[in-house]
Amino acid sequence: MKVVIVGGVAGGASAAARLRRLDEKAEIIVLERGSYISFANCGLPYYIGGEIKKKSALTLQTPQSFKSRFNVEVRVNNEVTSIDTAAKTVTVRTAEGEYTESYDKLILSPGAAPIVPPLPGADGSRVFTLRSIPDTERIREYVEEEFPDSAVVIGGGYIGVEMAENLKKAGVETTIVELSDHLIAPLDYDMACEVHQYARSQGLNLVLKNGVTAIEDNGGKMTVKLNDGSIETDMVILSVGVRPDTVLAKQAGLELNARGAILVDSHMLTSNPDIYAVGDAVEVTDFVTKQKAYVPLAGPANKQGRIAADNICGIPSEYKQTQGSSVLKLFDMTIAMTGVNERAAKAAGLDYDKMYTFNQSHASYYPGAHGISMKVLYEKKTGRLLGAQLIGYDGVDKRCDVLAVAIRAGMTASDLTELELCYAPPFGSAKDPVNYAGYAIENVLTGKIKAFHWDEVASLPRDGSVTLLDVRTPAERENGAIEGFTGIPVDELREHIGELDPKKPIYVHCQSGLRSYIACRILAGYGFDCWNLTGGYRFYSLVVKETKAMEHPCYGTK
């Protein structure tokens, strides 16, 4: 059997290694148009910022190492230009000329290409994209040799945010321009608000809800023109997203979706019985919604490469959909997510609700504890977990991993309460933040509490038909309070029960949602119909503050 793999990096390299482990006698050839067969895409920004010191650290495998360990022939700087599906050959272009290579089975792993918007000036010499090691070298050389004072990153996704952090660490004043109202698209707006405030505190400039119309370079300072305003800068990074790189697949007559991604079945087989496709070039199915999606992540690409190899070798392996688990570092902050966000849940017509919690990363009495903001989406009828978003400074990744497993296993909020997770004061609490999320949702599902959220506060009546109660301390209220809420500290609530009308619904909040839950249980014992603000005043005030700031979004513009 002869297998030709077009493209390396995550999917192609994974497929090649798996094929060899399953079949020692197969002829395996990897054709890579670039100079590197397997490198760490996700590490590229950190090389620019100096966190990763040596470029060689980004190279996971070389043609020589692949040959010596796996007996796989890797040909770099060999670009496949066409596929003849009838003859089962590919045409390959090199510096020396063209040749054809036959195959029994073909695996396509072409990856994705950066989207370069049709902007005037987008092809300028000081405008960069980041997708490969050569891209990284150009950016780092420019920073080290030209000493730019400022940079504009167009696009606030994963790579855009990571690039902004690392340019800032390299001493470059950096502005992120993002067309939508928040950074990091998989986050919901409300959770992104905490990211925005932290990013600004670290010296990043954010221009949100504002698009770029042109880039002008007259030899001095560049001008990035916006829908509203402009920014003077020394360099521009384009990071507006990626598209599946599927020109070859289209020319070969393989079935694609409207976005251009290759259609594959659960075995990673394309519409041609001898061609498989993996990685950032393929359409996937969302694990939660069961709808078709495009999720270019390294983890799925690696799994898909392995699955394609399994099926070529006669093992009926299946790729069981994507749930979009991801994590991002921003200076000292960690941002993680898994499953669906609210936009996806609404679009899929899911009957869901949400829960906001805020708990310490480990026992509060042990030094170094930090709060973790958590938003969990769940199905109202069953309590089945649908998605989670977490933001904090310590222990965020492991909690998100637990929730990712819970979603994959079809677990409910009640199941979270039963998880026995590792505990010692430096690492967690006897009741882990994941347990707390389960308890909070279970309390709603079992009728022990009713919940309302930050985006419902403004619509609460202020005409006396309901009671609005703040159970924080007077000192806390002096630092900020929600208009219309009367203050009675939770520890004094029983003494003041007679002052409250049990015939009126009562809406309660504290700083994080815990004391107000206790207050609601006290009030329920006296016959009150009580509602608890999830996430508390902390989360409400954070989102409201950011929303007001969004009325003047042109930070750093003229």
* Residues annotated catalytic, as ranges: 42
* DSSP secondary structure letters along 330-361: ETTEEEEEEE--HHHHHHTT--EEEEEEEEES
Cα–Cα distance for residue pair 539/189, rounded to 1 Å: 12
What are the two backbone dihedrals, phi and then psi, of residue 427, each rounded to the nearest 5 degrees?
-115, -30
Contacts of 477 (CB under 8 A, 6+ apart): 470, 487
Give counts: helices (H), strands (E), the chain: 15, 32
Cα–Cα distance for residue pair 127/139, rounded to 1 Å: 9
Cα–Cα distance for residue pair 203/329, rounded to 1 Å: 16
Q: In sequence order, what E strands does 155-273 have?
A: 173-178, 205-208, 212-217, 222-226, 230-233, 236-238, 242-244
What are the two backbone dihedrals, phi and then psi, of residue 3, each rounded to the nearest 5 degrees?
-115, 125
Other beta carbons less than 10 A from residue 408's beta carbon: 17
Closest listed residue to residue 156, CA positions, set 116, 183, 181: 183
Q: What's 485's DSSP letter?
A: P
Instruction: State how far the alpha carbon of 395 is from the alpha carbons of 83, 297, 369, 371, 427, in Å.
Output: 48, 22, 10, 10, 8
Span between the terminal Cα atoms of the chain, in Å: 63
Structure tokens at 151: 């940079």
Tell me if 457 sits within 8 A of 466, measured CB to CB. no
Q: Which residue has the tokens 């998605």?
A: 387
In which element (H, E) is residue 69 found? helix 63-70
Closest listed residue to residue 438, CA positions, set 467, 495, 469, 399: 399
Tell me if 403 sits within 8 A of 325, measured CB to CB. no
3-state secondary structure of 387: strand
For residue 74, what are the β-bridge partners?
30
